[in-house]
Structure 1
């Protein structure tokens, strides 16, 4: 359901009621939403038209959206429709509840070879299908691999990830993008690359991580990391089977021209074990809504309006379904664990303190760390004063009322480097430890460890 205040304040776009923010980046924000006609839950990616125009991305985004609408594959997040208001573009996408595939590794450790192979088969199926439609992802990484309620792999952001895309006269892509640890050497090299071969390299890194539980190329120094990638300087752990090692070495070949191809992978003995090719029907797809929203004639009759009904200023409440949607599937334990160790690009904690007190504490803890704080009701934006590896670190904080005396606090990286976000969160959490809700058991464990010495009593 949409997030709303006690007085029923909500935001509606067309037939969709908008809820909590699921994620945000430079050009877009993704919100949870509900189709009020069908009761179906969806995710809506909201693009700022002004930013899109400023970066001359209209043609690019129109092409990407048109292609994405034509992609109907069981392992790719489905795009339902596109709408636009005067200032925004809304892309309505399938909403999946199973969390990120890599959350499984974070909680359980590496996967067994047969389970890793099952996910890798689904990944290759989806990537192969999209490549056959001329769409390259170019930013395949953990947070783009989601699971639905049945544990089926779904790739998100296919074709919408790395903007702007530029294919030059030589037929190669020339935009360096993606997450360094997952990026092919030829992409870093900046001499032009084949999108299909670069995507495949990322799939190889993903397979390695699924089976090993750690990255093949890792170094805190970016230059040293790039050197390892250029040489494909990695070692497979001893528990990999010899056929899996051979396949990974053929995928992580630093020369794109001799790197194994997807048709060759599909014929590989290790890959073929238990392989079931996907079955799906190609439905008729209309691109009318895409043409309408990019119609430059200024015709406003097809535009939607974002309507907001205001209520009193209190924290947004969360009902049971929304609470479940924030966790993996129906497992609520991940929501209430004290997530101070493992930090993702979105992290949360619960507190029994009043919302106003939580806001004051976050502000108190963030300012000495060199952050500018902007408050808007029960949301905060923290902007780092120093320029980091990927510009200024920006963090969005939102407080939700889960029960009369319980709040959930969510912190999301909305700009900058993930590693810097991890460091910031760990520093911030030190200043917040007296407001984080701990169970009696957690309190006992902390006292045993001596970690609670000198701190305020747990609430």
Structure 2
């Protein structure tokens, strides 16, 4: 038999192949050794996090995702830390990015785009109800599971309601991806996280239906000018109701822009709408997050390397005391005594010269 590969184990998780890699993190496929369930583990280098002063941003992302337990949001199960690494244990999503779906297959028919938009709005509405604003919604941050259902990910730029601490009750950090960012985010006068997220959802819906961006320009200032006045043109294949709906979402005035409760009542949106049913209990504990970012040594995990013991066929048979070996023998050729002797030899109970 070929030599067994060395296993890397962190806590109760056995690490596998690398499935993603960025500047500060690597994502590995892993499996819960207790349940056998697949997970994705995001591994961050603690020294790099501290060097680039990213501790607060990452802590916020982890704390945010632990507050969100929704079928259309990537689930964060737990976070662990060692002396050198931070391990974020996430739901393993197998269907890739919605962005790739658009790149490879182009624009969608209205029914398909509506399904994804319904799932997106339902997830964003839930996040807002928990005081969480994503602030970087785009197709690259929308994953698909094995059933083709949407999963919102990457809360790295998210904000929670407690962060709206200035006297005007608004957020003031300019962030997000330029093509998807709301005009009020760009004017540096403060913005409401909920209405800004709605704008980004509208841009995503346009991309799904058109196959291209509503606002695009190689010159950043020209792009910002187009966004500030919502200068876009709907393609001719969009229905009238669709154009009307898009225009209400991509309203440059956040005060008159359609809200999520109004979206939920829109006739185009309501077609075949089935909100997900799920357990909404809020029993979130942030103890593991506190332990990791306070660098509590008593909670450190170690990454172990284990070389599994090589096993041959006889070892496997010996492990199964109740194994029926009858199919290994031609019972017409062996009498009961011979069968017993052969079975004992396979299990190591008799020497081979018996």
Q: Distance in 2 between matches of 1:92 and 1:150?
A: 21
Report the 3-state secondary structure (helix = DSSP H, G, I; strand = E; otherwise coil) of the residue aligned with 1:146: strand
**Residue 269 of structure 1 pairs with residue 267 of structure 2:** yes
Residue 331 of structure 1 corresponds to which residue in structure 2?
A: none
**Residue 125 of structure 1 pairs with residue 122 of structure 2:** yes
**Residue 156 of structure 1 pairs with residue 153 of structure 2:** yes
- 1:420-439 aligned at under 5 Å gives the runs none
CA spacing shift, 1:168–1:6, aligned 2, 3 Å? farther
Which range moves more in the overlay, 27-36 or 93-102? 27-36
Residue 172 of structure 2 corresponds to which residue in structure 1?
A: 174
Which of the residues 210, 213, 216 maps onto 1:215? 213
Question: Post-superposition shift, 1:108?
Answer: 2.0
- 1:197-236 aligned at under 5 Å gives the runs 197-236=195-234
Residue 292 of structure 2 corresponds to which residue in structure 1?
A: 293
Structure richer in strand, relative to its length: 1
CA spacing shift, 1:37–1:174, aligned 2, 3 Å? same
Residue 434 of structure 1 corresponds to which residue in structure 2?
A: none
Q: Distance in 2 between matches of 1:48 and 1:188?
A: 33
**Residue 78 of structure 1 pairs with residue 55 of structure 2:** no
User: Contact (CA 8 Å) 2:57, 2:157: kept in 1 or not?
Assistant: no
Question: Post-superposition shift, 1:57?
Answer: 4.9
Q: Distance in 1 between matches of 2:188 and 2:19?
A: 32
CA spacing shift, 1:64–1:240, aligned 2, 3 Å? same
**Residue 40 of structure 1 pairs with residue 37 of structure 2:** yes
For structure 2, the 5+ residue unaligned runs are: 308-354
Work out the number of aligned pairs and report it: 304
CA spacing shift, 1:16–1:233, aligned 2, 3 Å? same
Cα offsets for 1:88-145 (capped at 9, x unmatched): 2211110111111232222222111011111100000000000110111111111111
Which of the residues 231, 237, 243 maps onto 1:239? 237
Report the 3-state secondary structure (helix = DSSP H, G, I; strand = E; otherwise coil) of the residue aligned with 1:99: coil
CA spacing shift, 1:225–1:60, aligned 2, 3 Å? closer
Q: Distance in 2 between matches of 1:162 and 1:230?
A: 22
Residue 276 of structure 2 corresponds to which residue in structure 1?
A: 278
Which of the residues 132, 138, 141 maps onto 1:141? 138
- 1:44-55 aligned at under 5 Å gives the runs 44-54=41-51
Question: Post-superposition shift, 1:208?
Answer: 0.4
For structure 1, the 5+ residue unaligned runs are: 311-459
Larger Rg: 2
Question: Post-superposition shift, 1:75?
Answer: 0.4
Residue 13 of structure 1 corresponds to which residue in structure 2?
A: 10
Question: Post-superposition shift, 1:80?
Answer: 0.9
Report the 3-state secondary structure (helix = DSSP H, G, I; strand = E; otherwise coil) of the residue aligned with 1:301: helix
Question: Post-superposition shift, 1:302?
Answer: 1.3
Which of the residues 19, 22, 26 maps onto 1:22? 19
Q: Distance in 1 between matches of 2:164 and 2:49?
A: 19
Q: Distance in 2 between matches of 1:18 and 1:54?
A: 26
Q: Distance in 1 between matches of 2:152 and 2:292?
A: 25
Q: Distance in 1 between matches of 2:235 and 2:6?
A: 54
Which structure is higher in RCO with an 8 Å CA cutoff and minimum separation 6?
2
- 1:387-402 aligned at under 5 Å gives the runs none
| TM-score, normalization by structure 2 | 0.78
Report the 3-state secondary structure (helix = DSSP H, G, I; strand = E; otherwise coil) of the residue aligned with 2:116: helix
| TM-score, normalization by structure 1 | 0.61
Question: Post-superposition shift, 1:163?
Answer: 8.5
User: Contact (CA 8 Å) 2:61, 2:158: kept in 1 or not?
Assistant: no
Q: Distance in 2 between matches of 1:8 and 1:120?
A: 44
Residue 106 of structure 2 corresponds to which residue in structure 1?
A: 109
Cα offsets for 1:23-55 (capped at 9, x unmatched): 334443322222222221111122333344455
Question: Post-superposition shift, 1:265?
Answer: 0.6
CA spacing shift, 1:178–1:21, aligned 2, 3 Å? farther
